[in-house]
Structure 1
Amino acid sequence: MGNFTDKLPTDDALKALEEALVLGVKLGKLTPDFKLHGHRDARPSMESPGQKLYDRIRKHKHYEPIGPNIVTVSPKSPV
């Protein structure tokens, strides 16, 4: 949580994210070829997650942009 428009999360936070992704693959919660997206990939008008963090996400080896007008649904969302 925070504003990552002008600065990145802490190194510890970025490391924790990477460790969580690796663990997710190890536990079978994520496929080894999972795709990582920024919030604004689904909603381009959003500033989330902030430009600095979004720039970092786009450099991640699992990042893949998605087209506009994509509807995303979480597993707990009513359809």
Structure 2
Amino acid sequence: MVKTEILLFIVFAFSEASACFLLITPSRWGAKPANCSAPLQDVLPEYVVISHTAGTTCTTQAECSRETRNAQDYHQRIKRWCDIAYNFLIGENGYVYEGRGWRSEGAHTYGYNDVSLGIAFIGTFTDRIPNPVAWKALKCLLDFGVKIGYLSQDYLIMAHSDVSDIVSPGNPVREEIAKWPNYKHN
């Protein structure tokens, strides 16, 4: 009985989320195999770190898939990391591209990788914020993560530049997330 209730809850949560955002799995964006899969700590992630990929923006699934593959290639080949750094990436088409996913440790923010989700907007956002559909996808993804129990309901959101000496994601994005009630600035 309990398994049936859990299954129904998950099906309901996924159907509700699909009306709000579309998740593009690694196989659908053409990911290379990862060379690792370290799990997050046993506690729910308490932080969400927002960054940008510093590449080309995208507005179609084909473009965003290509840019996600480019980010993974850069992280694996040039940085010598075992996989794409981020847990999720968001394109200006409003789609969410799964990187390492909900339960795997990222490589996005030193000191926070094992206690946070790293989410990157696809593109360079130093002079502007992503479009409204990308922001909606971010909000829906986070709400969904809380609802299915993969993100603490008391999570704090911050810009990568709040905790690292880096420009990502740029002041316009940092100023936008600073408006969120759960924004954390160090």
Alignment of 1:1-79 (within 5 A): 1-43=122-164, 45-66=165-186
1:15 shift after superposition: 0.3
Q: Figure out how many residues of one structure are paired with residues of the other and give that number.
A: 65
Query: Equivalents in 2 of 1:65, 1:58: separation in Å?
Result: 8
TM-score normalized by the length of structure 1: 0.76
Residue 107 of structure 2 aligns with which residue? none
- Can you list the C-alpha shifts for 1:22-75, whole angstroms capped at 9, x where unaligned? 0011011111111111101111x2110011111111111111112xxxxxxxxx
Aligned identity (percent) is 37
Query: Equivalents in 2 of 1:15, 1:42: separation in Å?
Result: 24
Query: Equivalents in 2 of 1:58, 1:17: separation in Å?
Result: 15
Larger Rg: 2
The CA RMSD measured in Å over matched residues stands at 1.0
Q: Which has the higher strand share?
A: 2
28-37 vs 11-20, greater mean Cα deviation: 28-37
Unaligned ranges ≥5, structure 1: 67-79
Question: Relative contact order (alpha carbons < 8 A, sep ≥ 6): 1 or 2 greater?
Answer: 1
Structure 1 outlier segments of 4+, above 4 Å: none
TM-score normalized by the length of structure 2: 0.34
Query: Equivalents in 1 of 2:151, 2:176: separation in Å?
Result: 20
